[in-house]
A and B are shown apart, each in its own frame.
Chain A
């Protein structure tokens, strides 16, 4: 019932609705620009929200994340360049459709499927999150540490091409988070007698560096490449979407929405994995599997629904356990902290109204980006082709400096941002995992705290993690995820070797 009260409250606040609308537009544009992601936009705009009330600030960034995920499909279909990693799956059928002169139809299918997927995920979040929080309140430090441990392993090993480099990214994130004073004994760690380092590394400049400046470095390698839009067909009937056409997509959309929602709840997996799993599953169950990859509408609907369904449930571990399920979640932690809101299971006791109002803004944001996308995706596409990247990226470069300074009014943070930016570029170049690095940086503090609390509670040292069944279960989940991933990579390597032979 709280959600209806929250919806009423949000709908009666025109200023808040204005922020949500702006976020829907900004997210869509940023998501559609090849190379830029919703994470980069959120990291860059984060300092602006310091000066806003908590709800508009959170709603603005949350809706940018949602519409940014959808915006990736515009680039995938209209430019044959996925705006986000997740929309690479949409590109498989979206681009062939565009080449057949059906870009408009493909965009409509992508929009409707994204909206259905996002709504499904959001409703599952609204229904389930308070229940998860109730369970989370009963978990003690050993269980919470085991959840953190599983999250580290899953985040480090599941994404990316290399397990060792993914896990190394997570380990580096933990080490960088250790810089500063120990929270319990106030002992200096990795400070090298520098006063600036005793305050630790701030999350905001680190994220701006990794996601924004790192992307600017990457885009230097793309200089001179022009984004070209595939011309739409003059024949309007080719781009009209009928109910009979969409009806065949609906089972795929419903299945993919649940796949996306489930994957979204698991920390670190994210939209790209959800989109490809849904695409694979859709093709396996399709009546026309041979058409997939050649311009099947279902091949656009399935990954788009899954990609967007991730958005809501990825907030569940963040809001209930303080564990960000995605890079966007990691950035939102910064907003909660800046506004003095403690995330975790107690959030539903202390800020219940705020949480439901945020969910309501999410639902309204979905409607807004759905309407804008359905009627204006082609316009957004044309607008993006007119943005000169050789001007856009220098502007983003300059903005990243002022944004990182703004977070604490400290030039040391700007140096941190530059170092993180270069590191972010290097990590992408060397197949490391910047997302695992940032999420581990965020998780490290909580993991250390719960680990040390658990040891204080224990009479048998680290045995407490094995003697408590829930803790043991999560430790085993983490190890199982690692083993499954290594086996799958080894299978792929063998398959490649056989092909080469």
Chain B
């Protein structure tokens, strides 16, 4: 059902089928309503079974077609950014917004190719300050406070 070969067809097909099977089993664990009707299960099941059907169709379509693999050239940088993203949220939860952003800003710039030490140092200070001013002071959003330590406690609080 596609004009040209789509990337990683076999892997995608198997992933869709496995995801569909997992979602179908989970859908069957959804409790029935007080009259024993399937109301709450219908849409989750429809979505799950559609995934299985689409995965099988994708698998059928891969027969006899050349498979094109994905470029792995940028995978280390993608993995680094994903790791930074997860670590950023974790540090935000433990040490608050200022410290986490002060660490994440230069690292993000570094991943994108900025190597100037002055630039990275300036980002570590300016980014948390500017975002804090805009979102937590001007807009009045309550900042995510660190569970273990928060710089705002030292700086005189929110």
Q: Which of B6, B47, B74 contacts A161 (CB 8 A)?
A: B6
Q: Which of B26, B57, B139 contacts A190 (CB 8 A)?
A: B26
Contact B111 A220 (CB under 8 A): yes
Contact B39 A184 (CB under 8 A): yes
By a CB distance below 8 angstroms, the chain A residues around B114 are 390-391, 394
Please judge, given known A-B contacts A175-B51, A184-B40, A220-B81, whether A411 and B1 are in contact too, CB under 8 Å. Answer: no
| Tier of interface size on chain B | 35 or more
CA of A492 to CA of B5 in the docked complex: distance in angstroms?
Answer: 12
| Tier of interface size on chain A | 35 or more
Closest residue of chain A to B138 (Cβ to Cβ) is A51
Binds B, one of A256-264, A336-344, A425-433: A425-433
CA of A120 to CA of B110 in the docked complex: distance in angstroms?
Answer: 47
By a CB distance below 8 angstroms, the chain A residues around B99 are none
Contact A174 B47 (CB under 8 A): yes
Closest residue of chain B to A157 (Cβ to Cβ) is B1
CA of A389 to CA of B158 in the docked complex: distance in angstroms?
Answer: 33
Contact B139 A51 (CB under 8 A): yes
By a CB distance below 8 angstroms, the chain A residues around B30 are 182, 187-189
Closest residue of chain B to A183 (Cβ to Cβ) is B40
Contact B31 A398 (CB under 8 A): no
By a CB distance below 8 angstroms, the chain B residues around A236 are none
By a CB distance below 8 angstroms, the chain A residues around B105 are 394, 398
Contact B2 A162 (CB under 8 A): yes
Q: List residues of B (109-158) whose CB comes within 8 Å of A's CBs.
A: 109, 111-114, 123, 127, 131, 135, 139-142, 144
Q: Which of A399, A401, A406, A489 contacts B2 (CB 8 A)?
A: A489
Closest residue of chain B to A403 (Cβ to Cβ) is B135
Answer yes or no: A486 CB below 8 A from chain B CBs. yes
Answer yes or no: A217 CB below 8 A from chain B CBs. yes
Closest residue of chain A to B109 (Cβ to Cβ) is A394
Binds B, one of A11-19, A69-77, A415-423: A415-423
Contact A430 B3 (CB under 8 A): no
Please judge, given known A-B contacts A175-B23, A217-B78, whether A429 and B70 are in contact too, CB under 8 Å. Answer: yes
Contact A161 B4 (CB under 8 A): yes
Please judge, given known A-B contacts A398-B108, A411-B92, whether A162 and B50 are in contact too, CB under 8 Å. Answer: no
Contact B86 A418 (CB under 8 A): yes
By a CB distance below 8 angstroms, the chain B residues around A51 are 139-140
Residues of chain A touching chain B, judged by Cβ–Cβ distance below 8 Å, are: 48, 51, 161-165, 167-168, 171-172, 174-175, 178, 182, 184-185, 187-190, 213, 216-217, 220-221, 223-224, 389-391, 393-395, 397-399, 401-402, 405-406, 409, 411, 414-415, 418, 421-422, 425, 429-431, 444, 447-448, 451-452, 486, 489-490, 492-493, 496
| Additional pairs, 10, CB under 8 Å, beyond known A190-B23, A492-B3 | A164-B61, A175-B51, A178-B43, A394-B108, A394-B111, A430-B8, A430-B12, A431-B7, A452-B42, A486-B1
A-B contact pairs, 29 of them (CB 8 A): A161-B2, A161-B4, A163-B1, A164-B57, A168-B54, A168-B58, A171-B50, A172-B51, A175-B44, A178-B44, A178-B47, A185-B39, A189-B40, A221-B73, A223-B112, A391-B109, A394-B108, A397-B85, A399-B131, A401-B104, A409-B141, A411-B93, A422-B85, A430-B7, A430-B8, A452-B42, A490-B1, A496-B3, A496-B4
